[in-house]
Amino acid sequence: MADYNSSLPIRTEGDAQEKVQSKLVDYANPSLGMQIDSDKNAHVEVHGNSPAGSDEVLRLSELGALTPDGVYSASDNSKPGNVGLIASQRSASLGDSTQTERLTSVAQGNKRLLDVSIHDENGNVFSASNPLPVTSVDSEGDEVNAFNTSAAVAAGASVDLEYTVTALKTLKLSQVHASASGKLKAEIKVESAAGSGSFATKFVQFNSTANPNLLCEIHEHIAVAAGAKVRVTLTNRDTSPMDVYATICGHEF
């Protein structure tokens, strides 16, 4: 009768020394074993193959979030993660399956500019037959219409009517109105800085008996600094005293 190789069954006990323990090791190098972290979880790194087939370790942030790289690199990231802006097809029911449109861009020096094409709400191109509606406004900021007057200015005499720009704001001077019942000269001046007392004349106008009202429209608006003054010097060029009027207009922002 042949001998039979047998082994004794393994008996375990409750203490750590007599309890049967096992470990996961590399079959070719048993010194390489799986570790257990202090939180009693197996320490396992997630590996995968790169587009070239080499083994790579999955990267995580400090919070454990995946960190895909969305910037293409021929040597380091030839299959970048699609983490940029993805446009959806127009649909009454938007969902994952409608997110199929990648946006395009162009390089201009150090800038990367997204391509933009403006269409109407139905996706139609604006054209001569489908124009873009536009509403014009004078300017941004707070409206300024500063009216001032001086009574009984003597013949040949002059008077200054002024507006001081609000602190911490800039005035965009757009027009000046001036009027009198007789002949009038109007000089429109701007102070170089707050409190400087130095004024530069920008415009000079004259009225006539037939056209007593003056209007100076400034198409390229003049920027006047905070605290500086706009001065309208009105000179009575008639033969008798008369009241004079001026309104300084613009926007402060």
**pLDDT tens-place string over residues 171-227:** 999 999 999 999 999 999 999 999 999 999 999 999 998 999 999 999 999 999 999
- Per residue in 42-52, pLDDT (tens digit) is 877 788 888 88
Q: How confident is the model at residue 79 (pLDDT cuts 50, 70, 90)?
A: confident
- Check pLDDT > 90 for residue 156: yes
- What are all long-range contacts of 156-161, with beta carbons under 8 Å and residues at least 24 apart? 156/235, 156/236, 156/237, 157/235, 157/236, 158/233, 158/234, 158/235, 158/236, 159/233, 159/234, 159/244, 160/231, 160/232, 160/233, 160/234, 161/231, 161/232, 161/233, 161/234, 161/244, 161/246, 161/248
Q: How far is the C-alpha of 249 from the C-alpha of 146, rounded, in Å? A: 6
- Cβ(58)–Cβ(44) under 8 Å? no
- Check pLDDT > 70 for residue 16: no
CA atoms within 13 A of residue 227's CA, in its CB half-sphere = 7
Q: What CATH number does domain 142-252 carry, 3.40.50.720, 2.60.120.230, 3.40.50.10310, 3.40.50.300?
A: 2.60.120.230
Question: What is the token pair recorded at 119?
Answer: 């269409």
Q: How far is the C-alpha of 116 from the C-alpha of 93, rounded, in Å? A: 24
Q: How far is the C-alpha of 72 from the C-alpha of 26, rounded, in Å? A: 36
pLDDT for residue 36: 85
What average pLDDT does the segment 82-111 reach?
83
Q: How far is the C-alpha of 78 from the C-alpha of 54, rounded, in Å? A: 13
Q: How far is the C-alpha of 231 from the C-alpha of 173, rounded, in Å? A: 11
Give the predicted TM-score (pTM) of the model.
0.55
Q: How confident is the model at residue 14 (pLDDT cuts 50, 70, 90)?
A: low
Q: Which residue has the higher pLDDT, 33 or 69?
A: 33
Residues above pLDDT 70, as percent of the chain: 92
